[in-house]
Amino acid sequence: MKRLRALLCGAATAALATAGLTALATDQAAGATADTSALGNRWYAAAPYLMPQDNNPPDAGAIMDATGLKAFQLAFVLAPNGGGCTPTWDGTSPVSSDTAVASVISAIRAKGGDVSASIGGYGGTKLGQACPDAASTAAAYQQVVTKYQLKAIDFDLEEPEYENTAAIAHEIGAAKILQQNNPGLYVSVTTAGTADGTGWFGKQMLNEAKTQGFTPNNFSIMPFDGGFNGAAAQTSALTNFNTILQSTFGWNADTAYAHEGFSGMNGRSDTGEYFSQADFQTVLDYATGHHMDRFTFWSLNRDRQCTPVDNNGQTSGTCSSVAQSSWDFAKYSVKFAGATPPTTPPPGSRDAYATIQAESYDTQSGLTAETTTDTGGGQDLATAANGDYALYKGVSFGSTAATQFLARVASGAAGGVSGLVEVRIDSRTSAPVGSFAVASTGGWQSWRTVPANISGVTGTHDVYLTFTSGQPADFVSVNWFDFGH
């Protein structure tokens, strides 16, 4: 399964290695503040995937504030692109010298959350392929567990690695060693899903686990990119996978469900399938109704609306290609964990780089919300004239400066009537950081996407859209806006 991650984004020796791992596990982690009170396993089981260094990573703290989410599945730990049996992030950033991901982890823990690390994935070279045996593979992963003081880890075993028998034996063996040497470590194994549950290679992976006597907290399948048509096809695949787990391990149905997980993809998949919020709710109901162990998805980087909404029929690593509010899909993970997402977004939870609907203002003057015929439907903010404004509190720009502003506007103003759409920070009377001029677009529902450059903005701020014109007449309507780098 692609998941658009590669686009943006002898017995004595083994015994010695195992002893070394035990000693290594006692070392103090460097670079990430530990959370001495780990979350319950249900949160690790619900943790959605987040790429912290690629695919326009969102602010994890803002997601936590907006949804109540407490756990994140950070992706992906790989072998170095240049070769070797040492862990890196995405094949390029050595774990040993990492400070960037450690900073993300520390920020999450400072807000009461925690992380799991996912190893493998679709792209890059996996450590099971690069390392000569299970013990050395485990030693590489132990560096990750120790550095970040992890309480959970995910083995994402898929093509092409899971077609390599030796590599899969290394990965399963490493998972077993980690489980033995890190008591209480939550371990999930994720693999491709098919209509029958999982394919031949997935079944071979399960047989390898049985042969090695390894039982993780769960085996999860990814029922997408395989001709799935919404939630009904996904729940059917989960039922079939349960049967496979029963026959492989000799479990009854309830025990199999207690070791089964779901890993979905929100919005448009790589192969053009679509999974909506309603589909996620249906699968969530199935998972909780059958007491499954895990419910997660790929990815939080995609859990925001594209511009345009359908992304011109393309799949993106940074947005979902379906109509949504930011972090809609994360809320299903929160529900699986047994928590209740907040009903109103708290201040500071708006992501500057996700679509902000104009009608979602905190306060406004002189404007009117109306039904729009623009792509995606919903409402726009109309009747903007000189002196009008809308306030959007707590917009998070992150640490990398935003330098672009993009707005979807329409105008049916009479000839000679025009004005400026301006962006101001923290005060309606502060100097604009950017603006663009707009005149008639041919009608009040004739929509155009207009870009503008802005002065670099970082941090979290209240954003004012102000409207200035030399004429008193209405001159523009706004459907949505966002920012960029």
pLDDT of residue 13: 33
The angle, 0 to 180 degrees and rounded to 10, between the axes of the packed helices 11-24 and 165-181 is 50
Contact 364, 381 (CB under 8 A): yes
Residue 293 structure tokens? 């162990």
- Token pair, residue 286, equals 């199935």
159 is catalytic: no
**103 vs 62: CA distance, rounded Å:** 15
Question: H-helix or E-strand containing 479?
Answer: strand 476-484
| Residues facing residue 277 across a β-bridge | none
| Arch. (CATH architecture) of 350-484 | Sandwich (2.60)
Does the pLDDT value for residue 130 go beyond 60? Answer: yes
Span(s) in the chain for CATH 3.20.20.80: 11-336
The tens digit of pLDDT for each residue in 198-238 reads 999 999 999 999 999 999 999 999 999 999 989 999 999 99
Tell me how far apart the alpha carbons of residues 326 and 308 are, in angstroms, rounded to a whole number.
14
95-108 mean pLDDT? 97
Task: Characterize 137-173 residue by residue with b for buried, 16 or more Cβ atoms within 10 angstroms of its Cβ, and e for exposed.
Answer: bbbbbbbbbbbbbbbbbbbbbbeebbebeebbbbbbb
- Provide CATH 2.60.120.260 ranges for the chain: 350-484
What pLDDT does residue 34 have?
Answer: 52
Across the range 184-201, mean pLDDT stands at 97
Q: Please give the residue that has the higher pLDDT: either 42 or 375.
A: 42
The answer, yes or no, to whether residue 17 has pLDDT greater than 50, is no
Report the alpha-carbon angle 293-164-296, nearest 5. 20
How far is the C-alpha of 280 from the C-alpha of 230, rounded, in Å?
9
At residue 290, φ and ψ (nearest 5 deg) are: -100, 5
**Residue 270, helix vs strand vs coil:** coil
User: Please, which pLDDT band fits residue 66 given cuts at 50, 70 and 90?
Assistant: confident
Q: What is the C-alpha to C-alpha distance for residues 72 and 49, in angstroms, rounded to an integer?
A: 6
Three-class SS string for 37-59? Answer: CCCCHHHHHHCCEECCCCCCCCC
Work out the burial of residue 254: count CB atoms within 10 Å of its CB; fewer than 13 is exposed, 13-18 middle, 19 or more buried. Answer: exposed
- Confidence check: pLDDT of 15 > 50: no
Q: Which of 21-35, 175-189, 349-363 is the least confident region? A: 21-35
Q: Are 68 and 48 contacting, i.e. CB atoms less than 8 angstroms apart?
A: no
How do 402-411 and 368-371 pair as beta strands?
unpaired
CATH of domain 11-336: 3.20.20.80
Q: pLDDT-derived band of residue 31, with 50, 70 and 90 as boundaries?
A: low
**Could you report the per-residue pLDDT of 338-369, keeping only the tens digit for each?**
999 887 656 556 889 989 999 999 899 999 99
Cα 108 from chain centroid (whole Å): 14
Between 246-255, 305-314, 329-338, the lowest mean confidence (pLDDT) is in: 305-314
- The DSSP 8-state label assigned to residue 340 in this structure reads -
Burial of 44 (0-12, 13-18, 19+ CB in 10 A): buried
Q: What's the residue count for the chain?
A: 485
CA 249 to chain centre: 32
Beta bridge partners of 396: 351, 460
Could you list the beta-strand ranges (E) of 324-411. Answer: 350-351, 356-357, 363-365, 368-371, 379-384, 389-396, 402-411
Residue labelled with tokens 């249900």: 42
Whole-Å CA distances, 8 to 3, 60, 87, 141, 316: 11, 19, 20, 24, 9
- At position 77, the amino acid (one-letter code) is V
CA gap 262, 414 in Å, rounded: 55
Residue 350: predicted pLDDT: 85
> Residue 30: which pLDDT band, with cuts at 50, 70 and 90?
very low
φ and ψ at 452, to 5 degrees?
Answer: -155, 150
- The pLDDT-based confidence of 20 (bands split at 50, 70, 90) is very low
Which residue type, as a one-letter code, is found at position 10?
A: G
Instruction: Report the alpha-carbon distance of residue 471 to residue 441 in Å, rounded.
Output: 17
Query: Which tens digits make up the pLDDT trace of 400-459?
Result: 899 999 999 999 999 999 999 999 998 999 999 999 999 999 999 999 999 999 999 998
